[in-house]
Structure 1
Amino acid sequence: MNSINPLYTEPAKIAQLASDFQNGVPYKHIVADNFLKEDIANQMYDNFPSIEKLAKHYKGLNENKSEGSNFSDFHPVFAQVRKDFMSPEFSKWMETVTGIKDVFITDDNLGTGLHQGTDGSFLDIHVDFNIHHIKNVHRRLNMLIYLNKNWKPEYGGAMEMWNADMSKLVKAVPCDFNRCLVFETSEISYHGYSKITLPPGVTRRSFYTYFYTKLPANASLKYHDTVFKAKPEDTAFKKVGTTVKESLKNTIKAQLKKMGIKF
């Protein structure tokens, strides 16, 4: 684990993180500052690709952001960190911290990549897809490492963590430089960020990693895609639009998966 701050490999620190994770509210999570070695984090910040180099761009009712896992187009430091995270040693570290056994990262865009948002970017509150629609493995954990220096509170962009019935914002984690957020993905892990206000030349940046476990042969878990939810303060139009869109989307995608059609 050559990219990780040595502090986070010490037994006492790992034990503290494991306790913090189990006691996380509103759902299991940890926040770890200065997570990467300083030189690695600085290299990632200095060489973060322009938004044009990212492969996917979303702009719709519930999200406005870009992402990419086309690592061959990025500075080599990103592939180096990706390799570290995909190592057996890091999987074991994550198992020890979270208590979730036999976790792994898929070698595709649903495993690791970069997120970036410009002025006006947002990601509405949601729970993530629960099963990888091609590899048929169970998504268990998200890890986000933020790469934003000199981030000001007035920019917004904190990760909002809501309660199980989406009635209350419980915690907001600012997206400060070299801060790592790990949380359990479940049917109640509602999260996202509100519309950001940024000056020219500033973007919201993060490195994402998703961890999976194998699905048991007799698993009763039914596939669903990302499920967006409107906030209590959203307009009636957005509440209705989100509900209708998400119902149609998930019905269609569930049928496609059932028929073995890639999407």
Structure 2
Amino acid sequence: FFRFGKLVGSAPEAQFSGNSMAYLKFRTTFQKDEALRAYFEEITGLTLAMSDDFGSHSMAAGDFLKAHDDNNRNRRLALVLYLSPDWQPEYGGVLRIVDPAGHESTVPAQYNSLVAFDTLAGTTHYVVPVEETAGSDTRLTIGGWYRNPS
């Protein structure tokens, strides 16, 4: 069983809340700020193009993401920003990145951390199930991709 929900819509009274406005500002910066794109080019050594491929995600107990690669839609650099301040390791929901030789790297869902990886490096990745110990807590992320400039 697979469940993966995107945070979509909001109550009318929350549409212009501080949180929604911060999200929109972050999204706009990610999509249009050349200096931010240049920063990621500098730290990764990759040549990147801007993207509108961006979203927010929520995973609750039982949710997971099957192994896959992001080598599609001309994606080049994947980014995931973790937004759950009280997330505990025993809640699960960790990202696992598998290199072409089959070696796995585990990336904990640590609050206020950013993960970036090259989608053309031959890796796959998946998110292990969020455990029932998470209770009503959810694994919240914002993610997106810079594109390959070709």
- State if a TM-score over 0.5 links the two structures: yes
Task: Normalising by structure 1, report the TM-score.
Answer: 0.49
Asked if 1:178 corresponds to 2:120, the answer is no
Matches within 5 A, 1:40-189: 63-68=2-7, 73=15, 75-86=20-31, 87-106=33-52, 111-130=53-72, 132=73, 138-165=74-101, 167-168=102-103, 170-186=104-120, 188-189=122-123
Q: List alignment gaps of at least 5 residues for structure 2.
A: none
Query: In structure 2, do the counterparts of structure 1 residues 69 and 184 end up closer, same or farther at CA, with 3 Å as the change threshold?
Result: farther
Specify the alignment match of 1:209 in structure 2.
144
Distance 2:68 2:137 in 1: 25
C-alpha distance in structure 1 between counterparts of 2:144 and 2:8, whole Å: 10
Q: Report the alpha carbon displacement of residue 187 of structure 1 after superposing the two structures with TM.
A: 6.1
Question: Do residues 197 (structure 1) and 143 (structure 2) align?
Answer: no
TM-score, with structure 2 as normaliser: 0.83
Contact 2:48 2:146 in 1 (8 A): no
Q: As a proportion of its length, which structure holds more strand? A: 2
d(CA) in 1 for partners of 2:110, 2:145: 20
Contact 2:76 2:147 in 1 (8 A): yes
* Runs of 4+ with >4 A deviation: 68-74
Contact kept? 2:77, 2:117, Cα under 8 Å: yes
Find the aligned partners of 2:9 and 2:79 in 1 and give their Cα distance: 18
Q: Higher relative contact order at CA 8 Å, sep ≥6: structure 1 or structure 2?
A: 2
Structure 1 CA distance, aligned partners of 2:93 and 2:65? 9
Q: Where does the alignment leave 5 or more consecutive residues of structure 1 unmatched? A: 1-59, 133-137, 216-263
Please state how far the C-alpha of 1:163 moved relative to its aligned partner: 2.5
Residue 150 to residue 102, structure 1, CA distance change in 2 (3 Å)? closer
**Shift of residue 148, structure 1, vs aligned partner:** 1.3
Q: Does the 8 Å contact 2:83/2:142 carry over to 1? A: yes
Q: Which amino acid aligns with 1:66?
A: G
Distance between the aligned counterparts of 1:175 and 1:80, measured in 2?
23
* 8 A Cα contact 1:69 1:113, kept in partner: no
C-alpha distance in 1, partners of 2:99/2:40?
24
Contact conserved, 2:41 with 2:48, CA < 8 A, in 1? yes
Partner of 1:25: none
